[in-house]
Structure 1
């Protein structure tokens, strides 16, 4: 970025591909000599500081969306000191969120675009949040769209990006990960290290850091978060909030505002809206994909499964965030028996409560593992009561236990979160919640139920095949 300071009252910034003299903390003057045409005329520090302060008071340009390598507007001019500096108005976004709680997504979108103009952009992932672009289009206001290209998206998602651009006559502003960071990660840990040590590191390199760069050029952003997407992490998403994680162009805590126009909209209603408006959608949706991310970390879900279960399926339900919205994750609390849990549904009550299901303690599980010649086979679910996927299978598991009542088959449950999690990982093949294990009569090794189908018939078929 070249910085030209003249003896007049204006400071002009122009972007270029070599911006090594610009840092997140402020602008540094490069020691490189300028050509005669770019000769530097120094001004007093007071004038420079005043010019910087005035940058926040200039009305943003409402330009049409365009393709660029950064979310920072390509040019801006700041004038001083012939215009009176007005104090920055501090807005109460909690009150604004309450006022808009019952507003329609279209009304919320219109409010956001009207308020921030060219300093706000829609974050588009290539999934059902194309609804955001449709709402923005319906307002009639200019709008900007950006997306994170991690380099590992499905081919269908790239085709969808192109379709959306042509349908709305826009250019999506793509953000890419730093090639040096990606190269270091892959060379050090391989292409699929996230299957072994979790997805957070890969997402940090490919998604979070590019997003951080993008948001440094904005005052606000618009996301497709909904409360029903992930009860464990998004159950209290407001329609507008001060972003708790990222910073905007002014820098510092509270410098970025996050708008979530569809926070209160159910997934079915989003899809009804898309069909009604004949909006183009990602072709992966027709193959069972609901929540869509990178190709290695996304898979189709079965009927009845929660949409987020197709993301990072090898990890705990409460970890199913990549870091873009980690400010939503609730702090863990510790209950009376020493087990940590997240009260996503506002209740600390246990699940799988039935007279036909045996609640096993840690010593009980250890004894079950030691038995080499059991009198009866066992089926045991490893669960956490806060996990929405465990909650979703509760009814079928209770019915399954009722069907086997009085037979030679025992049905049990073992709470495997909190202090028991390490034991469950090491000894019980726990990968994610819920994990279902079958303990045969004449074998000390449990057999892990491999299917994502947790209906009664599927569970019975598994048991009958092994009895």
Structure 2
């Protein structure tokens, strides 16, 4: 990610640890214009990332200016909640201390910044990233809303194009990439992805797939917005402001429509006659609408297999129950209720095609 004071004269480069970041530095170098590079050192990075930073400094004959979190804030967080509290209550608090606030300090001295965001990096949060925008989260040199321009020149560039460029230019690459890491963050929060998994699935893998942003690009996450549902109850969208209201979805006899008593019964049973796959949905949610055809096809394929397929409308007055008892973080949430276990298993992926869902079921039944 690159931040610029003047897009035509001097670049202040915000350098992370991935392929897009070094690609943007290489682009900046090729322009012949002067640039500075700064990076966030959270104190939790992989050793390979630090060696990568050193290689970049030597390759480009630059000094990276590191931004560190406030030591008092880090100490208070660790003392009160421990070193790994994010596994229990989410990554946002730790990222806010270690990443967002240091970046906020750096951006206060700029008028614009350039990022390495790509639309295909995360369908859940980056699919609609524009090339140029007013930064919705941070303030620039003049202060106030609208004081910072955010330029995403790689928004429409695919990942393979980035890698082709890096190999052609023979620039330093983080060695973690060769170990299966595609999207790289802090060591406790990043792991390699498996073949076929999306690149962002290695980040905060224990959390909901629709909120995989650390806060540096918080504006990508569309927040809850009241939407009326067919029953006149207040419904809220998690992750979508653009959903089109529909009376209902997943309408097929192959999918069992569950009411709350049925779901509560599933939660109580430790020995079910058959396993269940259940989607928690809201008919106005565009992500639910987008997976409708694949979920219906999956249900058809599972007829006679011994796996029941269900749906539970979890918006409106059922939302609090679903958040408390069913791990609902965003719509859709997909749960697998095993045959001989009481606790459901949450589907962790952003990929909701038939093959991916079928592989998930086969691995668990």
With a CA cutoff of 8 Å and minimum separation of 6, indicate the structure with the bigger relative contact order: 2
The 5-angstrom pairing of residues 1-400 of structure 1 reads 115=7, 117-118=9-10, 120-129=11-20, 130-337=22-229, 338-341=234-237, 342-343=239-240, 354-370=252-268, 374=272, 376-384=273-281, 395=294, 400=298
Aligned partners of 2:183 and 2:322: how far apart in 1? 28
Aligned partners of 2:173 and 2:119: how far apart in 1? 21
Aligned partners of 1:133 and 1:428: how far apart in 2? 44
Unaligned runs of 5+ in 1: 1-108
Aligned partners of 1:418 and 1:132: how far apart in 2? 44
Count of matched residue pairs? 348
What is the Cα deviation at residue 171 of structure 1?
Answer: 1.5
In structure 1, the partner of 2:337 is 438
Q: 1:282 to 1:193 in 2, by over 3 A?
A: same
In the alignment, is the contact (CA less than 8 A) between 1:429 and 1:448 conserved in 2?
no
Aligned partners of 1:255 and 1:372: how far apart in 2? 56
Q: 1:164 to 1:425 in 2, by over 3 A?
A: same
In the alignment, is the contact (CA less than 8 A) between 2:336 and 2:347 conserved in 1?
no
What is the Cα deviation at residue 319 of structure 1?
Answer: 2.2
What is the Cα deviation at residue 240 of structure 1?
Answer: 2.4
Aligned partners of 1:355 and 1:387: how far apart in 2? 22
Q: TM-score, normalised by structure 2?
A: 0.81
SS of match in other structure, 1:147: strand
Aligned partners of 2:286 and 2:175: how far apart in 1? 30
Q: TM-score, normalised by structure 1?
A: 0.65
What is the Cα deviation at residue 368 of structure 1?
Answer: 2.9
Q: Deviations over 1:161-183 (max 9, x none)?
A: 11111222222111011111111
Aligned partners of 1:143 and 1:357: how far apart in 2? 57
Q: 1:267 to 1:383 in 2, by over 3 A?
A: farther
In the alignment, is the contact (CA less than 8 A) between 1:306 and 1:389 conserved in 2?
no
* RMSD, matched Cα: 3.3
Unaligned runs of 5+ in 2: 350-354
In the alignment, is the contact (CA less than 8 A) between 2:104 and 2:138 conserved in 1?
yes
What is the Cα deviation at residue 417 of structure 1?
Answer: 5.8
